[in-house]
Amino acid sequence: MIKNILVTGGAGYIGSHVIVKLHEKGYNPIIIDDFSNSDKSVLDGLKKITGKEFKLYEGDILDQNLLNQVFTEFNIDGVIHFAAKKAVGESVEKPLLYYKNNVSGLVSLLESMTKNGVTSLVFSSSCTVYGQPDKLPVTEESPKQPANSPYGNTKQIGEEIIEDLVNSNTPLTAIALRYFNPVGAHPSAEIGELPLGIPNNLVPFITQTGAGLRDHLTVYGNDYETSDGTCIRDYIHVMDLADAHVSALSCLEEQSGNSHFDVINVGTGKGNTVLEVIKSFEKVSESNLNYQIGSRRPGDIEKIYAQVDKSQKVLRWETQHSLDEALRDAWNWQKKLSNI
Ligand code: NAD
Ligand code: UD1
């Protein structure tokens, strides 16, 4: 029987790619999104890729009536929870907005799931919970560091809320996926990342600079203790990340009936410097990127990349796409957006 999966934030960057994968694997995704950080054009992209119009509830996950309506209208087998605000800087300026949306939003969702007997959850967490780890690659057992922003704190609190609920008598099986740095787009270039305003993240800034929307990229520091002095991250293709969610759902299905909570790193296991990402972009775009070395960005982590043993073992999943493919797909998406 086809399984109905509720995807909160399903119109967003990661959510939209997961919708495609769910459809490919024979699930029926149902979207809730308030379009606070996405555009309805994503629905056209999804239709072009899949040929399907997905059921969409336009609204806020804080709206219990809306959630209860969804759970009443559909027999929901599992929930993937993306809906959250994610701009680190904004969270420092407006902490209550972040605690309300990300923490109260999660509580609202869990209340409605509990009320309606829905017991499987995949939660979007982040490698930000590790801060700068003492040892690399970072494992799931690495201690969490105090969050350096309200945004980061909402991910730590979110994991704790879910764990507390699992440890209560409430039937719930949940997996928190700690994403490293998602990049790239669907290879068709029909969906991708749509940053509002000036991007904070590296890859959209690179592709916008390549497209002439930004004059130059500033590399935030080249005096770190890394091979070329620039910071190291674990960049994962968004299609690989999307696959990990489908694997997580299969895991939850196998565990269903047992209250259980697990956290799993989702990365490639490989770190790349900022200059390596720029080189990859220059290779796939066959162009030179205009960049300058600037000062360090306050609060930046020097280096982090995932240990992937647990994701390989528990999710029976591993990444398929290279950094070059991610940059190629991000660039194709940018070219489409910019009519190049
Ligand atoms: P995104 O902003 O593109 O997608 C989030 C979607 O949720 C948007 O479509 C937005 O309109 C919607 N939304 C937000 N608040 C809502 C609410 N209260 N009710 C209904 N819809 C709401 O972000 P993304 O990059 O796709 O990230 C998805 C999740 O993954 C988030 O929880 C984010 O914190 C987490 N995450 C993202 C990254 C990253 O680098 N992109 C890294 C680690 C974790
Ligand atoms: C960001 C988020 C973090 C989130 C993570 C995963 C911030 C401060 N942090 O961090 O909470 O968990 O993404 O998605 O936003 N860089 C430049 N020039 C630029 C932009 C970035 O040199 O114009 C460098 C940064 O210094 C960093 C790397 O590129 O070394 C990646 O930066 P970014 O894409 O912002 O991701 P994170 O720093 O990992």
For the segment 38-49, what is each residue's pLDDT rounded down to a tens digit? Answer: 999 999 999 999
At a CB cut-off of 8 Å and minimum separation 6, what does 26 contact?
A: 2, 3
Nearest one of 200, 264, 276, 191 to 235, comparing CA atoms: 276
Instruction: Give the residue whose CA is nearest to atom 16 of ligand 2.
Output: 202
Contact 177, 244 (CB under 8 A): yes
Q: What is the whole-number distance in angstroms between the Cα of residue 267 and the centre of ligand 1?
A: 18
> Quick check: 16 pLDDT over 90?
yes
Position 70 pLDDT exceeds 90: yes
CA atoms of 262 and 206, how far apart (whole Å)? 35
Average pLDDT over residues 213-221: 98
Predicted pLDDT at 277? 99
Return the SS3 of 292. Answer: strand
Q: Residue 141, class by beta-carbon neighbours within 10 Å (0-12 exposed, 13-18 middle, 19+ buried)?
A: exposed
Task: Give the global pTM.
Answer: 0.98
Mutate to test the pocket of ligand 1, among 62, 86, 177 (most ligand atoms within 8 A of CB): 86
Percent of the chain scoring above 90 in pLDDT: 95
Select from 31, 37, 333 the residue to mutate for testing ligand 1; criterion: most ligand atoms less than 8 Å from CB.
37
User: What pLDDT band is residue 72 in, cutting at 50, 70 and 90?
Assistant: very high
Which pLDDT value is given to residue 188?
98
Q: How confident is the model at residue 258 (pLDDT cuts 50, 70, 90)?
A: confident
Average pLDDT, the chain: 97
Q: Is 220 in the pocket of ligand 2 (CB under 6 A)?
A: yes
Mean pLDDT for 263-278 is: 98
pLDDT beyond 90 at 201? yes
Is the CB of residue 222 below 6 angstroms from any atom belonging to ligand 2?
no
Helix ranges, 37-94 (H): 41-50, 64-73, 88-93
Output the six-digit token pair for 175: 């997996």
Q: What is the pLDDT of residue 148?
A: 87
Are 55 and 43 a contacting pair, CB within 8 Å? Answer: no
Q: Quote the pLDDT of residue 257.
A: 78
CA–CA–CA angle 329, 334, 340 (5° rounding): 115
Query: Mean per-residue pLDDT for 91-116?
Result: 98
Q: Give residue-wise pLDDT tens across range 144-173.
A: 999 989 999 999 999 999 999 999 989 999
In this predicted structure, what is the pLDDT of residue 256? 80
Q: Is the CB of 218 under 6 A from ligand 2?
A: yes
pLDDT class for 88, splitting at 50, 70, 90? very high
Spatial separation of the C-alpha atoms in residues 340 and 336, rounded to whole Å: 6
151 is catalytic: yes
C-beta of 233 in contact with ligand 2 (< 6 A): yes
- The reported pLDDT for the residue numbered 169 is 83
Angle between helix 13-24 and helix 238-255 axes, rounded to 10 deg: 60
Of the chain, the percentage scoring pLDDT greater than 70 comes to 100
Burial track 227-251 (b if 16+ CB lie within 10 A, e otherwise): eeebbbbbbbbbbbbbbbbbbbbeb
Nearest alpha-carbon partner for 186 in 52, 20, 7: 20
- Of the candidates 179, 24, 155, the one whose C-alpha atom is nearest the C-alpha of residue 91 is 155
Position 332 pLDDT exceeds 90: yes
Q: Quick check: 338 pLDDT over 90? A: yes
**Residue 1 above 90 pLDDT?**
no
Ligand nearest to the CA of 103: 1
| Burial call 17-38: b when 16+ CB within 10 Å, e when fewer | bbbbbbbeeebbbbbbbbeebb
Q: Closest ligand 2 atom, CA of 274?
A: 29
Residue pair 252/78 in contact by the 8 Å Cβ criterion: yes
200 lines ligand 2 (CB under 6 A): yes
